[in-house]
Amino acid sequence: MNIKIHRGLHQIGGAITEVSTKTTKIIIDFGEELSPKQPIDEAKILNGCDAVFFTHYHGDHIGLYKHIPQTIPIYLGEIAKRIFMVLVERTDRENTSLANRINGFIPLQKILVGDIEITPLFVDHSAFDSYMFLIKADGKSVLHTGDFRGHGFRSKGLIPTLQKHVGKVDVLITEGTCLSRSETEPLTEHELQIEAKNLMKIKKYVFVLCSSTNIDRIAAFYHANPQGRYFLCDAYQKDVLTVVKENAAKWSNLYNFEKIITYGENIEDRFIDRGFCMLARSRDDHRKIIDKYPKEERLVIYSMWKGYLSGESKNETITNFLDEIDYTYLHTSGHADAKTIEKVINVVNPETIIPIHTENSDWFNEKYPDRTVREDFYMV
């Protein structure tokens, strides 16, 4: 079995991993870069490919799906696909048919492509229905982590899943996004919910700027919203949450999303009287809604990565939206901290580690001098 990292070394986002045998070739993730660094020949990478598997629906992992020939099967988690379809229908409608050809899968459902066996393992991430992949071929095993974390609502299952369904592997391909950031222990999603609840008691009108597909974050604010107040969003956001409610509420009350109302000026009097929490996005019409409410009675919460506010990843749409707004920052990462990565390594005990989706691969060499850390083509 051969492993080749086409892109993703020494950078966050845009990772493309190839796993192949003498007769079969699969690709894990085929995403756009967050900032252009490593140009690739997409057609060359896909030549001879038998299937592409996506760990989740974030653009830096799935964004190049349109370039995959229709003769190559592509796979994504079943619920993740449904969420992705809502997103594509809103932002990229001309490619709806391309997105709709994605094959859905469920956790632990083994998929055989040629002589390669792929088992999806559910993980907690800021994209709903995300997965690691256990890959077996030629008597060897590889675990590709995708993006994951240990401080989300459903992260408790991470280590037990690895212990029960994975065990020791030959190679671990792991993300390390947070290894180049602060070493402070991340706020858990539950702690964020508690802090949000305290903040929302102070102001009558609350606006939350967060990713429309960060379902657990939305759930945190939904359940933090004081009793008796409305929970508002636009029609697109409600469509996303309806998909989650219909497919995941049976697992957890966290995703019931029963009391959500689509914002409309015709019923604004109700909102003004009782108060509300509204999921906002960086659009002019949402900014006009915020500006309607007096500063002394409103709270604007920014719940996304700080990197969008300044530096090389600055997002002008977001910063313009927040211009002259006093906002409160309340966020936690969708990625694993160092301690969580160490726990994973201790459980799967790999002979070789291949770091991707990180700007600090040196951490692995320093932390594990007795293990092989590779950053190039590798034959298991």
pLDDT tier for residue 287 given thresholds of 50, 70 and 90: very high
Class of domain 189-329: alpha beta
Residue 9's pLDDT band (cuts 50, 70, 90): confident
Task: Return the closest-CA partner of residue 125 out of 89, 166, 81, 158.
Answer: 158
Closest by Cα among 125, 126, 145, 127 to 341: 145
Highest average pLDDT, of 34-38, 109-113, 359-363, comes from 109-113
Output the pLDDT for position 380. Answer: 62
Which pLDDT band holds residue 184 (cuts at 50, 70, 90)? confident
Q: Report, as an integer, the average pLDDT of 182-200.
A: 92
Q: Can you tell me the mean pLDDT for 336-361?
A: 96
Q: In degrees rounded to 5, what are phi and psi of residue 7?
A: -160, 145
Give the C-alpha separation, 130 to 343, whole Å. 19
Q: Which of 145, 212, 182 is nearest to 357 (CA)?
A: 145
pLDDT of amino acid 266: 83
40-80 pLDDT tens trace? 899 999 999 999 999 999 999 999 999 999 999 999 999 99
Q: Is the domain covering 2-181+335-379 a CATH 3.60.15.10 domain?
A: yes
Rounded average pLDDT over 283-294: 95
Residue 357: what pLDDT?
93
pTM: 0.95
pLDDT higher than threshold 80 for residue 182: no
Can you name the residues that pair with 7 across neighbouring β-strands? Answer: 16
Instruction: State the pLDDT at residue 93.
Output: 87
If pLDDT is split at 50, 70 and 90, which confidence band does 319 have?
very high
Average pLDDT over residues 102-126: 97
Residue 379, pLDDT > 80, answer: no
Torsion over CA of 151, 309, 84 and 40, rounded to 10 degrees? -100
pLDDT band at 264 (very low <50, low <70, confident <90, very high): confident
Domain residue spans of the chain: 2-181+335-379, 189-329
pLDDT for residue 377 is more than 70 = no
Supply the pLDDT for residue 269.
Answer: 84
Token reading at 300 = 């604007």
Q: Is the pLDDT of residue 91 over 90?
A: no
From residue 310, alpha-carbon distances to 140, 284, 292, 304, 354 in Å are 44, 21, 27, 13, 30
- Residue of 161, 84, 78 lying closest to 121 (CA atoms): 161
Average pLDDT, the chain: 94
The pLDDT tens digits for 206-228 are 999 999 999 999 999 999 999 99
CA 86, CA 88: separation in Å to the nearest integer? 6
Question: Mean of the pLDDT values across residues 309-325?
Answer: 93
